[in-house]
């Protein structure tokens, strides 16, 4: 392929993909396109698997690069290595499985699929660590000082863990917006009441319920 040719070959065009690998041009293509080529040619009869393995190694390295950016080195005792390795291994298995939904997800939404699975694994690790909320109120909403060094993925997993534990009609929605910095009511912009289309008193009562439940959680930790 020439440098001017930016159009990727069809996933099952193994001869062209082999040439791309031999010429060291994989980096020219989006990860999802390469995933599609791997899934179309892995263990395919009559197709040389040497270049397929090289594509797998390339995508494996890209996965690790994305995941290391999603997991903070300060949150877990091992610097997040176990979480990164667990997600990476699961995603490699999905990549090579013709029936895995995440394999197709990697083809369509490479980074988004990796991030979603990273969130899932972080949430599980928080549960194992019994990482319970330790919230304080500040002008931007309730915060946990321990999350200061969290990555965005860890923040999402943390919020999901807290919100999932809350009970009561509309309490989760109100608290999630509160953590994003919205007030129960506001004359200058969007508020919890305006977003959820509830009156400010109802928003305040639901937020108070969430805080009471959090206090009980903290007492159990």
Residue 84 pLDDT grade (very low, low, confident, very high; cuts 50, 70, 90): very high
pTM confidence score: 0.69
Question: Each residue of 186-198: pLDDT tens digit?
Answer: 888 899 999 999 9
Question: Within a domain: residue 2?
Answer: no
**CA pair distance 55, 105, nearest whole angstrom:** 17
At a CB cut-off of 8 Å and minimum separation 6, what does 175 contact? 142, 162, 163, 166, 206, 207, 210
Q: Which residue has the higher pLDDT, 210 or 2?
A: 210
Q: Which residue has the higher pLDDT, 22 or 75?
A: 22
- For 149, the domain range is 136-220
Residue at which a domain ends, from 102, 128, 154: 128
pLDDT of 5 = 57
CATH assignment of the domain containing 186: 1.10.10
**Helix, strand or coil, per DSSP, at residue 147:** helix
Q: How many domains does the chain have?
A: 2
Residue at which a domain ends, from 94, 128, 162: 128
* Cα four-point dihedral sign 194, 176, 73, 118: negative
- Do the Cβ atoms of 173 and 184 come closer than 8 Å? no
pLDDT of 10 = 96
96 burial (CB, 10 Å; 0-12 / 13-18 / 19+) is middle
**CA pair distance 6, 47, nearest whole angstrom:** 24
Residue 47, token pair as written in the block: 């197709």
Q: Nearest-CA neighbor of 110 among 34, 54, 11? A: 34
Residue 214, token pair as written in the block: 């959090």
How much is the mean pLDDT over the chain?
86
Residues 83 and 162 in one domain: no
pLDDT of 131 = 65
pLDDT of 88 = 97
Residues 150 and 117 in one domain: no
Q: Which residue has the higher pLDDT, 146 or 170?
A: 170
């Amino acid at each position: 392929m020439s440098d001017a040719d930016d159009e990727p070959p069809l996933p099952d065009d193994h001869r062209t993909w082999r040439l791309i690998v031999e010429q060291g041009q994989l980096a020219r293509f989006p990860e999802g396109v390469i995933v599609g080529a791997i899934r179309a040619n892995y263990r395919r009869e009559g197709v040389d698997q040497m270049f397929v393995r090289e594509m797998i190694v390339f995508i494996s390295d890209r996965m690790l690069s994305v995941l290391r950016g999603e997991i903070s080195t300060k949150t877990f005792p091992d610097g997040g290595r176990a979480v990164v390795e667990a997600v990476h291994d699961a995603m490699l298995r999905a990549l090579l499985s013709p029936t895995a939904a995440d394999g197709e997800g990697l083809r369509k939404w490479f980074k988004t699929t990796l991030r979603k699975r990273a969130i899932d694994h972080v949430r599980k690790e928080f549960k194992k660590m019994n990482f319970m909320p330790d919230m304080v109120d500040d002008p931007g909403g309730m915060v946990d000082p321990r999350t200061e060094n969290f990555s965005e993925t860890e923040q999402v997993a943390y919020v999901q863990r807290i919100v999932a534990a809350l009970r009561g009609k509309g309490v989760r929605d109100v608290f999630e917006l509160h953590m994003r910095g919205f007030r129960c009511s506001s004359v200058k912009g969007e508020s919890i009441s305006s977003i959820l289309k509830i009156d400010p008193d109802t928003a305040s009562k639901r937020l108070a319920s969430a805080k009471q439940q959090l206090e009980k959680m903290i007492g159990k930790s």
